[in-house]
Amino acid sequence: MPNQLDVLVVGAGIAGLATAVALECEGMFIDVIEPSSESRSGGAAGLFLPGNSVRALTALGVGKHLSESGAPVPGRRLMNQRGSVPADIDMAELWRGTAGCVGLTRGDLHAAL
């Protein structure tokens, strides 16, 4: 009979929940606690998830949620303080072979996890 491992994850933010999901995928029993009295599940702040994070989150089983609630980010434009554009970056080309980049709210990512 394999040994079961009970794990306590302290912190219910994005990193804590992602850790809990990853450990649960490995067959561990997880308890998550949040020491802060402030809710960490909300948030309308926008997040940019580059291809490597989308790939990692997809491996955790939330890829469908990212594609449904997020918006693809096909490119990024870098601008200086004068408004000149020193670079336009094709994100699909940059992350080719990894995953597409996605923009979504912190609350949506938190809910997915």
Tens digit of each residue's pLDDT (9 = 90 or more) over 61-111 = 999 999 999 999 999 999 999 999 999 999 999 999 999 999 999 999 999
Instruction: Report pLDDT digits (tens) over 7-65.
Output: 999 999 999 999 999 999 999 999 999 988 776 666 678 999 999 999 999 999 999 99
* pLDDT above 50: residue 1: no
Q: What is the pLDDT of residue 12?
A: 92
Q: Give the CA distances from residue 75 to residues 30, 31, 88, in Å, rounded to whole numbers and listed in that order.
A: 38, 39, 7
Q: What is the pLDDT of residue 2?
A: 60
End-to-end CA, the chain: 30
> Of the candidates 91, 69, 47, which has an alpha carbon nearest to the alpha carbon of residue 15?
47
pTM of the model: 0.82
Q: What is the pLDDT of residue 4?
A: 79
Burial (0-12, 13-18, 19+ Cβ within 10 Å), 62: buried
Q: What is the pLDDT of residue 108?
A: 92
Q: What is the pLDDT of residue 101?
A: 96
Q: What is the pLDDT of residue 43?
A: 65
